[in-house]
Homo-oligomer: A and B are copies of this chain.
Amino acid sequence: MTQAIRRRSASPIADDGDQLSFCSTCAFSDACLSQGYDKSALSELHVLVEHVGPFSEGEHVFREGDEFTAIAAVRAGTVKTYVLDAAGNEQVLGFFLPGEVIGLNAIHQARYPCNAVALDTVMLCRFSFPKMALLATRMPGLQAQLFRLLSQDIGKAALLAGDYSADERMAAFLVSLSRRYAQRGFSPSRFHLTMARTDMANYLRLAPETVSRVLRRLQDEGLVQVERRELEIRNAAKLETLARPVLRD
């Protein structure tokens, strides 16, 4: 089928002087910079970066079973990963916002174990994984960052895993989005829900109807204001209290 993480307009941007600032959204550059690597080391990292996209809404970045060659950091937009169960129902595994890395769960099988689709206009930084691993043997800081990224993702599923109430799940989801947007410089209190209610439901393991009802309940209690896909957090403290059992912090 289609090549995983398709190449688009790769070369022009990759050689562009703006490269470093573009890539400053990537976790890898952050790590390397903080490790005090010199320009030459950094340029080695940037040599194996490919800027790909845009992917438009509904377009797939990779599909389950595709050969794994690269991981990718989201530069703009939102990527949803999911699998289809036997009955054809979608199980959403995660949403990836700018700065977050997709494809890490594909390493051990050398194939992507899930599908990844753009929820809006998505731009990616694509990293050849074999090349990156090779480079990591010469850059301990990069290796450490890769280990950290992988290790971090192991615990991520906790949000889904616990047997929490629908309200707690939803609160945790919204707080998580808020924090992740804040981390990238976006407003933590007002943002656009880039996914459909159905996606949220499939992610939180709830029925779409339940998502609807919970959002209404949270709004009636003054915790949030939802207008279609626009969300405003009106009482962050209470929302975080609700989310605490799930997020554990």
| Distance in angstroms between the alpha carbons of A108 and B154 in the assembled complex | 10
Q: Which residue of B lies closest to A150 (CB)?
A: B150
A188 within 8 A of B: no
Decide if A91 touches B147 in the complex (CB within 8 Å).
no
Contacts of A133 in B (CB 8 A): 140, 143-144, 147
Q: Which of A147, A150, A156, A158: most chain B CB closer than 10 A? A: A150
Residues of B within 8 A of A85 (CB): 162, 245, 248
Give A227 Cβ to nearest chain B Cβ, in Å: 28
- Answer whether residue A105 sits at the interface, using C-beta atoms and an 8 A cutoff: yes
| Total identical chains | 2
A80 to chain B, nearest CB (A): 15
A63 to B15 alpha-carbon distance, docked (Å):
48
A:132-187 near B, CB below 8 Å = 133-134, 136-138, 140, 143-144, 146-158, 160-163
Q: Does A106 contact B (CB under 8 A)?
A: yes
Asked if A147 contacts B146 (CB within 8 A), the reply is yes
Q: Contact between B160 and A108 (Cβ–Cβ < 8 Å)?
A: no
Q: Of B107, B143, B155, B157, which contacts A137 at CB under 8 A?
A: B143
When chains A and B are docked, how far (Å) is the Cα of A149 from the Cα of B109?
A: 10
Q: Which residues of B sit under 8 angstroms from A106, Cβ to Cβ?
A: 151
- The answer to whether the Cβ of A237 comes within 8 Å of any Cβ in the partner chain is no
Across the interface, do B244 and A155 meet the contact criterion of CB distance under 8 Å? no
Partner of A134, one of B87, B140, B146, B161: B140
- Across the interface, A83 reaches (CB within 8 A) one of B156, B244, B248, namely B248
A113 an interface residue at 8 Å Cβ cutoff?
A: yes
Q: For the complex of A and B, list the 6 residue pairs with the smallest distance between their C-beta atoms, beginning with the closest.
A: A157-B157, A107-B151, A150-B150, A163-B205, A108-B148, A160-B161
Closest to A157 in B: B157
